[in-house]
Structure 1
Amino acid sequence: MKLKQKIHLWSSLLMLVILGVLTAVIYFSFSELAFDTEVSQLQTELETVVTAVNDNPADDPVDILRGYVPADGLVRAVSGGTKLIRDIQDPDVTVQFPAALPENAGIIEVEESRFAYVTAPIIWTDGEVAELVMAQSLDEVSANLQSLRFVLLAAVAVAMIPIILSSAVLGRLVTKPVTDLTNTMTRIQKSGQFEKLPLTETAKDEIGEMGSTFNEMMELLEENYRKQEEFVSNASHELKTPLTVISSYAKLLQRQGMEDPAIAEESLAAIRMETERMNSLIEQLLHIARRSETQLELANVNLPEVLGQTVKVMQTSFNREFRLIGGQQAIVVKTDVPKLKQLLYILLDNARKYSSDRIEVIVKNEGAPTIQIRDFGIGIPKESLPFVFERFYRVDKARSRDSGGFGLGLSLAKQLADALHAELEIESIENMGTTVSIVFSGDFNVQPVNLKQEGLR
């Protein structure tokens, strides 16, 4: 059963049950009230009869009682279970009223007819205390209640017509956005083209929020799909170049390398170099693709100590001047040391490639712990700064290829910084140098630490 039909069915049944319960409560409440009213009126009339008999002891009580016989009712006087007089009753009453009554007042059913009755003590002509009984038929009340039943049932039937129609409209109204969403997803699946739901500006309810969320998700998927296509295209392009070089030198080696040692040496050196470049590219691609490596092993560390170790490794490896500035005082942050060192190596290696002068590593704690890596190289054009963290983006593709870059280093650095809850900021002036800042979040990274307890310097 479809959702629209379920909404239609269950809402109609629920309203039918509610109306049925409400109708039953109204009917039974009214019927009890009607019967109680008849008994109360009969009680008042009996008190009047008793007063009239007691006030006229010389008169024949039968004559007095005959004047007070209720319509469709009877009056009798009983003493010790024996009738003192014959029942005085309306000619329309033909039933045999029972001699014994269960209570002093109430409702009794006699020969499928209901009667209201009341009793009261009375002093009879011989001074004996007798029991005066007055009863009245409730056929008229029962007929009115039957009419009320028909009216209530008719009212329920009439009320269910707009309820059924409105529940059908409600079912369509609720399921229409879901149907539109399903149809849109089906079209996307068949065509492979991203499509959004048409929304009105007034749709501010939950259905409108669902449509807005779906459209935002489509935008994100479309953007990710475009980036994925661009990523695959760029990766294929980057891999194609070294593969072409390797293939060309392999053919040259096959044709002439066996006879000419110089050609063989040149070919093998080129093949080895391009293989190393390809290996480096694949390693960087794997680093970016590994989304599962976001589990951090956090520890409280002293930034100047970590920077000193990193700078020393870079100086030894490249025989270049890396200068640490501001490392005299301890600056403690909570971070993942291996990932932080990997981030530093990427930024320092990038600064080394595009600068022949010294490289400064500045650490300071002004508001938030910050590491700045400053070079005095060729710099980055102002118009290129917003794009330097995108994958495969290179300011000067020819120059970057000569220096061994693929345009992935800063993208990987941005990913590592995000994992460490740090911000990367870059400033650059062409032909003057570039400064990259790592700003640690005050809420996440900075912790009050006792250096002696932590064993930090």
Structure 2
Amino acid sequence: MKLRTKVQLFLSLMMIIVILLVNSGVYFLYENRVSNNEVSRVKEDAVAIMEALAKHDEINMDISQLLKAFLPANGMIRIIDETNYPIQNFTKDGSYLNWPFEYTDKEITSINKSGEIPYVQVSLPVIWNDGSIVTLQVSEALYSMDDALDRLQVVLLITSLFMVIPAVLSGIFIARYVTTPIKRLTNEINKNPINGKWEKITAHNNNKDEIADMQQAYNHMIDRIDENMTKQIRFVSDASHELKTPLSVITSYAELLQRRGKQRPEIFDESVEAILSEAGRMKHLTEQMLMLAKNEAIENVRFEPVDISQMVRDVVRSLTLAYKREIHYYDMIEQSLTVSADEQKMNQAIYILVDNACKYSDREINIYIEEKDKQLLISVQDFGDGLSKEEQEFIFDRFFRVDKARSRKAGGTGLGLAICKAIVEAHGGKISIESRLNEGSTFTIHLPK
């Protein structure tokens, strides 16, 4: 069953149920009100008869004449003695004599039915002329109430029918209003991809509803798909480009071994050493690329409270021992600061910056940590060769190396700063650089507090 049909049926049924409940409530409230009024009226008549019986000696009227005077047009008056025998029966319609009766010394009021006609029966204890206690029973058929309720049923039925028609039409209209944009959205989605390219759908920004949110969400998903496809293409292209050189070297030395390796032992040793070196470089490069791909995904970041000051101290201590270099750490925060971050990844980002500073500069290195504009700033300053304006624009790109010969000698792959940038951005921060040629560079991590 289509969504449009489901919505239409649901809304129509709900409206019909509401109409039935409202009309049923009106009917039963009216019936209760009318029946209470009729019961009160008959009860007042019975009380009036009882008072008249108590005063019949004063008015000097025969009891039979008195009871006939109070006889309802559509009812009956009975006098029942203690033996449950009707002493007196007064009625204009003999069919009323079939109505049940019972002696009682208590006041009883009830509404009963004889066939389809409801009637009120009021029983009161009275003192008869011989001093005994008898039951005065006044009964009256409720023809007027029955007619009024029948007319009300007809009116409510007609009203319900007239209300059901707009309810069904409203269900159709609302179902069409809800499902038309969904159908249009589905049709546009089904067209993708067009010629292998994912296209965005036309978003109706004027409609601030869930459909517009769905359209926006779909367009955001297309952006992420395009971004991931671009990253994938770039990843494959970069990998192919960077692996081409070591593979060429390995192939060349393997061919040389095949031709002359057996006759010239010195070529064998040189070739094996070169192949092992290039294979190790390929392994390191592959690990770096996989690490970069993993760090670009924000869902891989596990946030937890981290003492950032202690983390920087640990990195400084580790690299000071590894490079035998002078690394100065300046903590401008009065007390230890805890931030929400992935400890392992953030440690890696800081390690990359300090490690690069050690590799590409010979003088001391300064590290600063401070708070500014509700951000945590971690700066790594070196006094190396520095970077030109053009180089600064590409320094965070994959496989970008300022001096390829020097980078290769230092063991660099051109992925360290790209990995660092990916980690920082996954934490909602950014990384910036200030550099001048022959004066050095300062890399700064900006993290939200």
> The TM-score by the shorter chain falls in which range?
0.7 to 0.9
Aligned counterparts of 2:328 and 2:205: Cα–Cα separation in 1: 56
Aligned counterparts of 2:99 and 2:427: Cα–Cα separation in 1: 97
Q: What secondary structure is seen at the aligned counterpart in 2 of 1:285?
A: helix
TM-score, L = length of structure 2: 0.76
Could you tell me which of 353, 358, 366 is aligned with 1:347? 353
Aligned counterparts of 2:122 and 2:276: Cα–Cα separation in 1: 120
Could you tell me which of 311, 315, 322 is aligned with 1:313? 322
Q: Residue 226 of structure 2 aligns with which residue?
A: 222
Q: Does 1:114 align with 2:103?
A: no
Q: Does 1:46 align with 2:46?
A: yes
Q: Residue 437 of structure 2 aligns with which residue?
A: 430
What is the letter of the counterpart of residue 15 of structure 1? M
After superposition, the Cα gap between the structure-2 partners of 1:417 and 1:140, relative to the gap in structure 1 and judged at 3 Å, is closer
Q: What secondary structure is seen at the aligned counterpart in 2 of 1:188?
A: coil
Aligned counterparts of 1:95 and 1:64: Cα–Cα separation in 2: 20
Q: Residue 18 of structure 2 aligns with which residue?
A: 18
Q: Residue 29 of structure 1 aligns with which residue?
A: 29
Aligned counterparts of 2:49 and 2:277: Cα–Cα separation in 1: 128
Alpha carbons 2:424, 2:447 under 8 Å: kept? no
What is the letter of the counterpart of residue 328 of structure 2? I
Q: Residue 57 of structure 1 aligns with which residue?
A: 59
What is the letter of the counterpart of residue 307 of structure 1? V
Q: Does 1:144 align with 2:148?
A: yes
Q: What secondary structure is seen at the aligned counterpart in 1 of 2:98?
A: coil
After superposition, the Cα gap between the structure-2 partners of 1:64 and 1:417, relative to the gap in structure 1 and judged at 3 Å, is closer
Could you tell me which of 407, 412, 415 is aligned with 2:419? 412
Q: What secondary structure is seen at the aligned counterpart in 2 of 1:347?
A: helix
- Cα deviation 1:160-217 (Å, max 9, x = unaligned): 2222232233334334454445444433368543233322223323333333222222
Aligned counterparts of 2:313 and 2:86: Cα–Cα separation in 1: 120
Aligned counterparts of 2:404 and 2:207: Cα–Cα separation in 1: 48
Q: Residue 199 of structure 1 aligns with which residue?
A: 203
Q: Residue 384 of structure 2 aligns with which residue?
A: 376
Q: CA deviation at 1:269?
A: 7.1
Long gaps (5+) in structure 1: 316-321, 444-457
After superposition, the Cα gap between the structure-2 partners of 1:9 and 1:438, relative to the gap in structure 1 and judged at 3 Å, is closer
Aligned counterparts of 1:425 and 1:434: Cα–Cα separation in 2: 11
TM-score, L = length of structure 1: 0.75
Q: What secondary structure is seen at the aligned counterpart in 2 of 1:115?
A: strand
Report % sequence identity.
Answer: 33
Q: Does 1:324 align with 2:327?
A: yes
TM-align CA RMSD: 4.3
Alpha carbons 2:188, 2:201 under 8 Å: kept? yes
Could you tell me which of 60, 67, 70 is aligned with 2:69? 67
Aligned counterparts of 1:331 and 1:116: Cα–Cα separation in 2: 90
Aligned counterparts of 1:372 and 1:261: Cα–Cα separation in 2: 48
After superposition, the Cα gap between the structure-2 partners of 1:50 and 1:325, relative to the gap in structure 1 and judged at 3 Å, is closer
Q: What secondary structure is seen at the aligned counterpart in 2 of 1:427?
A: strand
What is the letter of the counterpart of residue 197 of structure 1? I
- Count of residues paired in the alignment: 432
After superposition, the Cα gap between the structure-2 partners of 1:118 and 1:230, relative to the gap in structure 1 and judged at 3 Å, is same
Alpha carbons 2:365, 2:383 under 8 Å: kept? no
Aligned counterparts of 1:339 and 1:112: Cα–Cα separation in 2: 86
Could you tell me which of 170, 173, 193 is aligned with 2:177? 173
Alpha carbons 1:304, 1:327 under 8 Å: kept? no
Q: CA deviation at 1:304?
A: 4.8
After superposition, the Cα gap between the structure-2 partners of 1:139 and 1:205, relative to the gap in structure 1 and judged at 3 Å, is same
Long gaps (5+) in structure 2: none
Aligned counterparts of 2:262 and 2:424: Cα–Cα separation in 1: 50
After superposition, the Cα gap between the structure-2 partners of 1:160 and 1:415, relative to the gap in structure 1 and judged at 3 Å, is same
Instruction: Report which stretch shifted further, 110-119 or 219-228.
Output: 110-119
Alpha carbons 1:347, 1:373 under 8 Å: kept? no
- Cα deviation 1:247-269 (Å, max 9, x = unaligned): 45655666678788998888777
What is the letter of the counterpart of residue 69 of structure 1? L
